[in-house]
Amino acid sequence: MHETTLILIEIGALLFGMSLLGRLAIRIGISPIPLYLVAGLAFGNGGIVPLGASEEFFEIGSEIGVILLLALLGLEYTAGELLTNLRQSKIAGLIDASLNAVPGALFALVMGWGPAAAVALAGITWVSSSGVVAKVMRDLGRLGNRETPTVLAVLVIEDLAMAFYLPILSAVVIGVSLVQGAVAVAVAVGVVSVILWVALRHGPVISRVFTPDHPEPLLLGVLGLTMLVAGLAAQVNVSAAVGAFLVGIALSGRVAEHAGRLLTPLRDLFAAVFFVFFGLTTDPADLLPVLPAAIVLAVVTIATKVGTGYLAARRAGIGVPGRWRAGFALTPRGEFSIVIAGLAVGAGVAPQLAPLATAYVLITVIAGPFLARVPDTAWFRGWSRQQRSAAMRSARG
């Protein structure tokens, strides 16, 4: 069979199967993300029927999916709202790093993997998956909730922090000199600063480049600019997600409104591809030996991430239900954790880190959509009311 024909058959069959899984998820009232991941595991490396011909398509599609998820999130907010949320959440960002990076670093040291692995595993357990969190919040209809800007601010702080962390990690695992590491960090900081300055100061000028009255040029222009900025950001070790998010922030008015409607179907397609690709590249056999350790690490850091979101929402003046929703929404880890593990293992640091990171991310990504629904359940709302009542009685007494 011709290779192109095989690629079309594989892509078509998998997309059709994903459609059926999406309908099943709607019927049983859950996010389709866990089902997409299971589909990827079933048809990836070591799966039931490996699909090798179309892997490159899904790899590129997964990158586009993350970029579009963050770009459309950026379109939901103005530059002023972003700055306000970042100012309000800077303490939450410090709490986030302390609560979630430290368990990973300690775990690596206890396992005897050394300081370089500790730096890598700290990043793996620290950063939530912007792509997964964005999709879960959209699936649950929470983009307009009061706690959503706080969740978004924590994610943006983490993604911006990656601009500094990734060059430092690269320097640590490769063993470059202090000067070389400082230069890499300085370049990353400069690029982020320039993108942020342009987005905040010249957003209206950028919006005037596009016309909201002609869908085709608007779609091509906004998509092209988003991918261009994301690619340039990634080229200098800055998160492509940060670049895409800031493009979304820079656009405003009717341009942002119309662009959001046009890009939504593309986002839905490629976001689904992202989660399937994650499963496709994972061999289930490699996960079993590290599964107990990954479960322990996941339980600890899910709890610390819930605490992070709760504290951040409380500082922002959000009510108790919104605090819990913010905390549970932040639990999934994803794309950055895999990138970090790849950097470390590629440099010869602790080969066990790759399967551990994969199992850990899969646990949090599968658990995340289910945990995000917990604050809306009747039993949790009842328990939360009991806790508030007990706290009030204690304060009066």
Any idea which of 11-20, 74-83, 249-258 has the lowest mean pLDDT? 74-83
Radius of gyration of the chain (CA): 21
- CA 65 remoteness from chain centre: 11
Confidence of residue 90 (pLDDT cuts 50, 70, 90): confident
Residue 378 clears pLDDT 80, i.e. is over it: yes
Confidence of residue 395 (pLDDT cuts 50, 70, 90): low
Residue 98 clears pLDDT 80, i.e. is over it: yes
Angle between helices 79-88 and 178-201 (to 10 degrees): 130
Topology of domain 3-281+289-384 in CATH is Na+/H+ antiporter like fold (1.20.1530)
Residue 167 clears pLDDT 80, i.e. is over it: no
- Checking phi first, is residue 317 left (phi over 0); if not, alpha (psi -120 to 50) or beta? left
> For position 19, what pLDDT does the model report?
92
Task: Number of helices (H) and strands (E) in the chain: give both, helices first.
Answer: 19, 0
> For position 10, what pLDDT does the model report?
85
3-state secondary structure of 350: coil
CA distance 209 to 364: 41
Most confident of 38-42, 108-112, 296-300, 385-389: 296-300
Q: Are 131 and 69 in contact (CB under 8 A)?
A: yes
The pLDDT of 286-290, averaged and rounded, is 84
Mean pLDDT of the chain: 82
Confidence of residue 113 (pLDDT cuts 50, 70, 90): confident
pLDDT tens readout for residues 308-343: 999 989 888 888 889 999 999 999 987 678 778 777
Look at the block and give the residue holding tokens 């913010």: 326
> For position 337, what pLDDT does the model report?
81
Residues with Cβ within 8 Å of 21's Cβ and at least 6 positions away in sequence, in order, are 32, 35, 36, 39
Residue 359 clears pLDDT 70, i.e. is over it: yes
CA distance 176 to 394: 56
Any idea which of 29-38, 119-128, 133-142, 356-365 has the lowest mean pLDDT? 29-38
Top pLDDT among 220 and 76 is at 220
H or E element: which one contains 135?
Answer: helix 130-139
Least Cα distance to 361 among 341, 337, 377, 392 occurs for 337
The pLDDT of 95-124, averaged and rounded, is 90
> For position 330, what pLDDT does the model report?
93
Torsion angle, alpha carbons of 204, 258, 243, 372, to 10? 130
> For position 125, what pLDDT does the model report?
94
Residue 187 clears pLDDT 80, i.e. is over it: no
pLDDT tens readout for residues 13-68: 888 988 998 888 878 766 687 788 788 878 877 667 777 667 788 888 888 887 88
Domain boundaries, given as residue ranges, for the chain? 3-281+289-384
Which DSSP string do the residues of 210-265 spell out, in sequence order?
A: S-TT-HHHHHHHHHHHHHHHHHHHHHTTS-HHHHHHHHHHH--HHHHHHHHHHHHH
Residue 176 clears pLDDT 60, i.e. is over it: no
3-state secondary structure of 64: helix
CA distance 244 to 248: 6
Look at the block and give the residue holding tokens 């070389």: 180
Any idea which of 18-27, 215-224, 238-247, 290-299 has the lowest mean pLDDT? 238-247
Confidence of residue 295 (pLDDT cuts 50, 70, 90): very high
Q: Are 104 and 123 in contact (CB under 8 A)?
A: yes
The pLDDT of 185-206, averaged and rounded, is 73
> For position 308, what pLDDT does the model report?
93
Confidence of residue 306 (pLDDT cuts 50, 70, 90): very high
> For position 175, what pLDDT does the model report?
62
> Can you read off the two tokens belonging to residue 232?
């340039």
Any idea which of 9-23, 186-200, 244-258 has the lowest mean pLDDT? 186-200
Cα dist. 12→63, 189, 215, 306, 316 in Å? 19, 42, 27, 38, 46
CA distance 75 to 89: 20
The pLDDT of 229-235, averaged and rounded, is 83
- CA 238 remoteness from chain centre: 15
H or E element: which one contains 4?
Answer: helix 3-28
> Can you read off the two tokens belonging to residue 225?
């600019």
